[in-house]
Amino acid sequence: MTKNLLVLIGPTGVGKTDLSIRLAQSFDTVIVSADSRQLYADLKIGTAAPTQEQLAALPHYFIGTLGLTDYYSAAQYEADAIKLLEELFEQKDIVVLTGGSMMYVDAICNGIDDIPTVDAETREVLLQRFKEEGLEQLCAELKLLDPEYYNTVDLKNHKRVIHALEICYMTGKTYTSFRTKQKKQRPFNIIKIGLTRDREELYHRINQRVDIMMKEGLLEEARSVFSYRHLNSLNTVGYKELFKYLEGEWELSFAIEKIKQNSRIYSRKQMTWFKRDEEIKWFHPEAEEEIINYIYTINSTPKQL
């Protein structure tokens, strides 16, 4: 029997979680998360992680498995998720993958380059240099060590500049030399379902969701992780705005409005990324029957009565 990975994607707030559960129940299967922030156990409210009730409905994977200080990359996610899928497909003919982290979805569908994992010492050296010397100096060094990548990278994105230098330091080779961009073949079919709503409808849902998060205790959650605010895991919409409030820089009402605004901006970035992929078939989240019928028409999964 052909194995099928149902990839359910779309912008933040569109309604992926609820629909993924209903689809997984329809196919008697499980859910694998492709959300880079829902991995962290301490970030339940601000990442809109599935509730305990939702988690109890059927098995979920890659939810709440990391501590805030744990290092994790898209490359590690690819290796862990592919290994898990091999095990799941021994029992299931279809598995649901869902999430809005573009790099994580891409890691499973296409694979990412086999770039060496950066050791802690090298990472610490580059972060310290960034703090002491600033981004401009690191960009100048990248221009010398890897001029090809320098000409294409967003030079304002310090994470990408630092990561490229880490690889140059560790390997003695250019970061570019590891970026083959060759699509990896997977031992399963990939069915990509995109969820979309009218912009006004989506924005209303995003704004409403932020209000619900605040009522559920997002501020208290942000306060509980405030001492870790320098970590990459907390460089996330919802937390970084509330940190400004907790530091006394912003009023709470302004911070909440900035969460809504930045969430809307992020949703546009997600859609820009996903719209490049012609393999995605787009549906409104409420078109559940239409989605299921589409899945049946393009794979060999027997229709359940």
pLDDT at 304: 44
pLDDT at 125: 92
pLDDT at 73: 84
* Rounded alpha-carbon distances, angstroms, from residue 30 to 92, 126, 186, 215, 295: 9, 40, 19, 30, 16
| Domain residue ranges of the chain, discontinuous segments joined by + | 4-113+182-298, 120-178
Q: Strand, helix or coil at 114?
A: coil
Judge if pTM exceeds 0.85. Answer: no
Q: Which two tokens stand for residue 238?
A: 């919802």
Residue 254 has pLDDT above 70, yes or no: yes
Closest C-alpha among 208, 291, 235 to residue 13: 208
45-49, 89-93, 97-101, 173-177: segment of lowest average pLDDT = 173-177
Residue 100 has pLDDT above 80, yes or no: yes
pLDDT at 209: 97
| CATH architecture of the domain with residue range 4-113+182-298 | 3-Layer(aba) Sandwich (3.40)
Which has more pLDDT, 117 or 56?
Answer: 56
Q: How confident is the model at residue 303 (pLDDT cuts 50, 70, 90)?
A: very low
Q: Give percent of the chain above pLDDT 90.
A: 77
3-state helix/strand/coil string of 69-96: CCCCCHHHHHHHHHHHHHHHCCCCCEEE
What average pLDDT does the structure give for the chain? 92
* Rounded alpha-carbon distances, angstroms, from residue 242 to 218, 219, 286: 9, 7, 33
Average pLDDT in the 179-190 region? 85
Q: How confident is the model at residue 178 (pLDDT cuts 50, 70, 90)?
A: confident
Residue 7 has pLDDT above 90, yes or no: yes
Q: Strand, helix or coil at 107?
A: helix
Residue with tokens 């086999």: 114
Q: Which two tokens stand for residue 143?
A: 């221009």
Q: How far apart are CA 183 and CA 80, in angstroms?
A: 18
Residue 301 has pLDDT above 70, yes or no: no
Answer CATH for 120-178 from 1.10.20.140, 3.30.200.20, 2.60.40.1080, 3.40.1390.10: 1.10.20.140
pLDDT tens figures, 21-61: 999 999 999 999 999 999 999 999 999 999 999 999 999 99
pLDDT at 302: 47
Residue 114 has pLDDT above 80, yes or no: no
